[in-house]
Amino acid sequence: MADHSIVAVFGSMNMDLSVACERMPRAGETVGGSGFITNAGGKGANQAVAAARMGAHTCMIGAVGRDTFGDVLVAGLQDAGVGVEFVTRLDGVETGTATIIRCESDNRIVLSPGANHALAGEDVARALRRLVADELDGDAREIAPAAGSVFIAQGECDLMATAAALSCAHELGFYTIFNPAPACDLPAGAWPAVDLVCPNETECQVLTGILPTDDASCVAALNALLDKGAGTAVITLGDTGSVALGDDGELLRMPALSCAVVDTTAAGDTFIGALAAARLEGLPLFECMAAGARASAVTVSRLGAQQSIPTRAEVERVFDLDDLVQDGEAE
């Protein structure tokens, strides 16, 4: 299966519409703005782009409206090398958007999910089965036809569809990654289908009631995530890196890498996409975290969402993976 291994992503596709102003408008007030930009975004699409730019054979499962924004988002995925055969174009529903008002450090965001909530679990399952059959040249009779492949889902699509998709992917043999962003909990019965859960610190607090701030709270939070039924857990901690538990239960810390921070918008998505691509290569978890750390470090040095996500060659020009893994700490 190694030659057929893929990263399949079920998730959101949004067009970000962003404008800056000197102060937030009051009710009924119009204020002047500047610096209007549009960015291709959505956590699912961002993660797919990151995996593809790291060299992984990647496929997107999602939905957009039959409109201009949908055209642009699909074209952007194709340009990044992401397969779009299973991106559904829908009539009568708009492409997802995020309208962002930027005022110094105070951002206000209005998210309209649109087509992102249109797909049901059975739609995703059908796409996964078709995808696996295609990769096997029509022979999907093996016990774990997707063994060696990776499936990623987040919290920006319908939650029941996401739970069903994770269960189907797990049954097919995918290594499943769940990124609960924005913070959301799965139905209890869906957690055993999650091989790796990867929240940030605030999402972790929502899921477990524990804010991971020091070694003890990180260990407690990671164990609480495992108690839900997930196979493995990684928590991203912004500028302090990421943590996981080793085979003996010891805390493993992957440090964040030093870069001039310009925009952190797609950092978490880049981390997950790069981690998935490294997993596709058969690397152990700690080295997958290292791959995520160096890719996300390059991302934060650039402005924007998908356009800030680097290629593998760009990352390798900045960081050496072997040095990064040696710098990691096991505590």
Task: Decide: 144 and 173 in contact? Cβ < 8 Å.
Answer: yes
Whole-angstrom distance, CA of residue 288 vs CA of residue 283: 6
- Burial (0-12, 13-18, 19+ Cβ within 10 Å), 205: middle
- Spatial strand order in the sheet of 33-41: 33-41, 14-21, 96-103, 106-112
Q: One of 67, 123, 158, 269 is an active-site residue; which one?
A: 269
Phi first, then psi: what are they for 208, rounded to 5°? -120, -15
Helical axes 267-280 vs 285-299, angle rounded to 10°: 140
Selection from 131, 126, 90 nearest residue 8 by Cα = 131
* Token digits of residue 88: 């559904």
The bridge status of strand 175-179 relative to strand 14-21 is unpaired
Question: Which stretch of DSSP H or E encloses residue 290?
Answer: helix 285-299
Task: Decide: 43 and 183 in contact? Cβ < 8 Å.
Answer: no
Sequence length of the chain is 331
- Burial (0-12, 13-18, 19+ Cβ within 10 Å), 240: middle
Where are any strands of DSSP class E within 58-213? 58-65, 82-90, 96-103, 106-112, 150-154, 175-179, 196-197
Active site residue 79: no
Catalytic residue annotation = 269
